Structure 1
Amino acid sequence: MSVTGVASDETPTHAQAPYRWRWAALFVILAAEVMDLLDAVVTNIAGPSMRADLGGGASTLQWLAAAYTLSMAVGLVTGGRLGDIHGRRRMFLVGAAGFTLGSLLCAVSASPGMLIAARVVQGLFGAVMLPQGLGMIKEMFPPKESQKAFGMFGPVMGLSAVGGPILAGWLVDADYFGTGWRMIFLINLPLGAAAFLGALRYLPRGRSGSRPDLDIPGMLLVSLAALLLIFPLVQGREYGWPMWTFVMMAASLAVFAAFAAHESRRSRAGLDPLVVPSLFRKRGFSGGMALGLVFFSTMQGFMLVFNLYTQIGLGYSPLKAGMVMVPWSGGMIVGFGLAQGVARFGRAVLQAGALVMALGVFGVWLTLDRVGGGVGPWQLLPALLVTGIGMGLLMAPFFDIVLAGVEQHETGSASGTMTAMQQLGGAFGVAMLGTVFFGLLGGGIATAVDHHADDLRHRLAAVRVAPAAQDRVVADLRACASDRAVAKDPAATPASCARLEKDARSAAASPEAGARVPAALAATTSSAFRSGFGTVMKTVLWIVDGMLALTFLLAFLLPRHARPQESAGH
């Protein structure tokens, strides 16, 4: 996030008396952070309920998360710059009002397209709101207090990480006033109103002494490049990977290159670039960007896929799925705490975090392999706790270590660029791992039906279904279960399922058999669904561990230690 900003007459400098309402202002800023943190995770829990209500395919579940993080990513650097130009308080107010309006639009959405568009509105206004807070903290607090102020972000992030999934699951399950999943967005209305009114009363007025130019061509180029990459990744599988999806992804690389060239030209001309090009000539910063892209892709992608697995594959309720994530979130807080105690080891702490997280993910794989489709929350707890501890160890020193090789005048641009990369990585991970998960799901469930075929034949033979009819029913069930898993519209009945119903009726030799054949099919389908989802989830876990191994190796590009004390606030 952009943390640049020069104090004005109304925002006292550190040499003067500290800003009077600084602690009240800090709580306003933290309220905005809570709204963002909650909205980044709630659709992972509520996504299946949203899809069941509004319709849409598997890509809808990916877009609910990716639309928010992608729009946040492309807006963040510009959002910080808008604060420099028009004043941080004014831009915070604009962002808080727009974010609250976006939440209302989400709550009243009547179609998947409208909900995804409203998520984009949330992300864009969030990108205007969030960078202003960190910039104002650096302006309002004297050096002795600023570390304490920045230190409050850790507990708030931790509580949001623990409380977010539980709150989302509880609100969806409770169905207050018949609102269902819509309440997870309606709850933002009082929060947003409180943040807006608090900002009006307590945030300092003022504007940066120097007014940088807004790099609109740069903003458009980086937005286009990100969209050209994420859109085909999310939609490609649903359209059968036509040639245009690969052309778009190749074009995204060309547009990213054009963006880099534009920023270099702008910098040489003495104009203000969105991203300072000299940053990428530093190995530590470039390596940190690559590491961050891989890690945040891994983290967000895994969280989405795991929540889909628990709710759709295991049949957990939204609240139960939210509770399953508590050990992960609690472990993250423990990891953050441990990282503070061993901070002197610098880069080694980050690498240890990657290894511990990989060990936890392998523990999840081992649990699924041993227990199978009947796995419960308590059995997943140890592995998820270890995964969370590793994530906390990895994340805690990341920003400070990457910023260690950055010059002081580049820190603002570097912080904004890194935070934008964090969001872009999240969108990329949701798109990539979500696409892998749904791409494997049809085949995984069809294979699971094959494994349960002998048991189904025995059940059918027991009610005197002829062998030829048994083969027909098994083949129909295989096709139906696979088609159901990857259906674009979950409410529609695939043709293969209609054929299964017809063949099952004709296979029954008596009224008694007619009553027992559907029960046999239902039992086999349930078992196949659970084991098929589990097989695909285990494959995704190997990919996640591979990405964490890459994270560990990329860490060797980073400086060994963070800069002492200078970047404490980042």
Structure 2
Amino acid sequence: MPTMTHSRRRWAALAVLLAAEAMNLLDATIVQVAGPAIHAGLPGPAADVPWFSAAYTLPFAAFLVTGGRLGDVFGRARVFKLGVAGFVLASLACATAPHAALLIGARAVQGAAAALIVPQTIGLIRALFDGGELAKALGSIGPVMGLSAVTGPLLGGLLTQAVSWRAVFLVNVPLGLAVFFGARLLREDRAATRPRLDVTGTLLVVAGAGLLVHPLIDPAGPNPALLAAGAALLVVFGFQQRRAAAPLVERSLFTHRGFPAALAGSLLFFAVMTGLMQVVPMQLQLGLGADVRTAGLTLLPLSAGLAVSSSLAGARLVPKFGSRVMFGGLALLTAGILAALGLGPGAYPWALALCGLGMGTFTVPFFTAALERVRPHETGSAAGLLNAVQQLGGTLGVALLGGLYLGTGTATAALALAAALAVAAAVAVLPLTSSVSSRRGR
């Protein structure tokens, strides 16, 4: 049997890494459509529906930076394989869960496993390629993520309708096993200087974020004591990071004028984006009695708009107009939400297409501007922190919009909150764009 050439082996290894990225994004989006069907098939209150998504994204966000550090210490390929194995086993547990509590617990394990997988991807690609091939390899991530975003809601609706909601978790098993056995193609890579792990910082983030998110999903209304405790722990985390010998977050990032604004903008924007993709299927299925396939097809214009506008923004708009494109994206997103709010479910397909166009138009210039003033030694920490805040924003969006919908029984209040958050995101990124503009002006 002929031996695989070195070049083919590297590109096959890249396919393994891209499959892992797609698997994680599919799992996050596929459940948003299947949530109401899962609730119908398992004992438990309607308040469990947002947790089917939030239980995944919360540990994903909380452990993401630590997952990257573990790869630095123990080897990225080793941690990647450990994460994939955990993800497959957790997917099996989700698919066979007899009641909602066990499903939510298994989703949390999935999210923690994803936090071991995703941070290793860029480092492993850099270990495989260099020069022009590296740029080509990194450039392949965007289309794969865009395709996964389009496929997730549609696949979730079709699988749930044709087979069962359990199939949306079982689909991870063959894909995960293929990634696990294909990981032997990866070249081991770790940091030249092994960083220490900030266990205290990680525990504070997990506890603080959990105490903030949990009461927001309660349809009876948030518990002020729990919210205050969560906020207090995050404040303690901030002070702990200032004194830690090996902080979870690179302290120098906060000396840049625009980076804190980027974090605030990311939190608010992804709260809107993920919350919408949670509330719309809930309204269609729980409020209007539509089937799960219809809910998946209704989200398809949003995903397609996101994929198209991301490509257009990167190729045409950002090179011509720079970071100002972000505000155009936020305006389109807000217009789409207001259209859905004012015209109702009959307008959802084209209103969501408008939202998707806004999302893609925003994200490309946003991440470019957010990382523009970051110094080379801060890049890994900055990218990891932005990704973690993105996931936390998604979790808060599911909690806020999903909890509000379940508490009021209508999508009107949730969509109104989404529009308010989109406007808040525009205000939050103002310092970021002015910071980038002032640098270019010098």
Q: Does residue 193 of structure 1 match 2:165?
A: no
Task: Spell out the pairing of 1:303-452 with structure 2 (5 A cutoff).
Answer: 303-340=277-314, 341-344=316-319, 345-368=321-344, 375-376=345-346, 379-441=347-409
Deviation, 1:143, is: 2.9
Q: Does residue 550 of structure 1 match 2:416?
A: no
- Asked whether the 8 Å contact 1:99–1:126 carries over to 2, the reply is yes
- Asked whether the 8 Å contact 1:401–1:560 carries over to 2, the reply is no
- Asked whether the 8 Å contact 1:89–1:205 carries over to 2, the reply is yes
Task: Tell me the C-alpha RMSD between the 2 structures.
Answer: 1.7
Deviation, 1:278, is: 1.9
Deviation, 1:116, is: 0.1
Task: Spell out the pairing of 1:161-240 with structure 2 (5 A cutoff).
Answer: 161-175=149-163, 180-200=164-184, 202-235=185-218, 237-238=219-220
Aligned counterparts of 2:383 and 2:64: Cα–Cα separation in 1? 10
Aligned counterparts of 1:391 and 1:359: Cα–Cα separation in 2? 12
Identify which of 44, 66, 80 aligns with 2:68: 80
Q: Does residue 48 of structure 1 match 2:28?
A: no
Aligned counterparts of 2:7 and 2:371: Cα–Cα separation in 1? 28
- Asked whether the 8 Å contact 1:19–1:140 carries over to 2, the reply is no
- Asked whether the 8 Å contact 1:19–1:141 carries over to 2, the reply is no
- Asked whether the 8 Å contact 1:347–1:560 carries over to 2, the reply is no
- Asked whether the 8 Å contact 2:285–2:295 carries over to 1, the reply is yes
2:236 corresponds to = 258
Structure 2: runs of 5+ lacking an equivalent: 1-5, 438-442
Deviation, 1:47, is: 0.9
Aligned counterparts of 1:108 and 1:40: Cα–Cα separation in 2? 18
Aligned residues: 430
Deviation, 1:19, is: 7.3
Q: Does residue 297 of structure 1 match 2:171?
A: no
Residue identity opposite 1:226 in structure 2: A
Identity %: 43
2:49 corresponds to = 61
Deviation, 1:540, is: 2.3
Deviation, 1:429, is: 0.9
SS of the counterpart of 2:17? helix
SS of the counterpart of 1:212? coil
1:275 corresponds to = 249
Identify which of 511, 522, 538 aligns with 2:412: 538
- Asked whether the 8 Å contact 1:347–1:555 carries over to 2, the reply is no
- Asked whether the 8 Å contact 1:95–1:126 carries over to 2, the reply is yes
Structure index of larger Rg: 1
Residue identity opposite 2:76 in structure 1: R
After superposition, what is the alpha-carbon deviation per residue over 1:412-463, rounded to whole angstroms, capped at 9, x for unaligned?
Answer: 111111111011111111111112112212xxxxxxxxxxxxxxxxxxxxxx
Identify which of 235, 242, 247 aligns with 2:225: 247
Aligned counterparts of 1:328 and 1:314: Cα–Cα separation in 2? 20
Residue identity opposite 1:440 in structure 2: T
Aligned counterparts of 1:254 and 1:100: Cα–Cα separation in 2? 35
Aligned counterparts of 1:546 and 1:207: Cα–Cα separation in 2? 43
Deviation, 1:561, is: 8.3
Aligned counterparts of 1:23 and 1:561: Cα–Cα separation in 2? 39
Q: 1:339 to 1:560 in 2, by over 3 A?
A: farther
Q: 1:106 to 1:20 in 2, by over 3 A?
A: same
Aligned counterparts of 1:143 and 1:70: Cα–Cα separation in 2? 36
Task: Spell out the pairing of 1:469-548 with structure 2 (5 A cutoff).
Answer: 536-548=410-422
Residue identity opposite 1:251 in structure 2: A
Residue identity opposite 1:429 in structure 2: G
After superposition, what is the alpha-carbon deviation per residue over 1:229-281, rounded to whole angstroms, capped at 9, x for unaligned?
Answer: 1112123x34x65xxx2112112222112111111112xxxx32110122123
Deviation, 1:539, is: 3.0
After superposition, what is the alpha-carbon deviation per residue over 1:181-201, rounded to whole angstroms, capped at 9, x for unaligned?
Answer: 10111111100000001102x
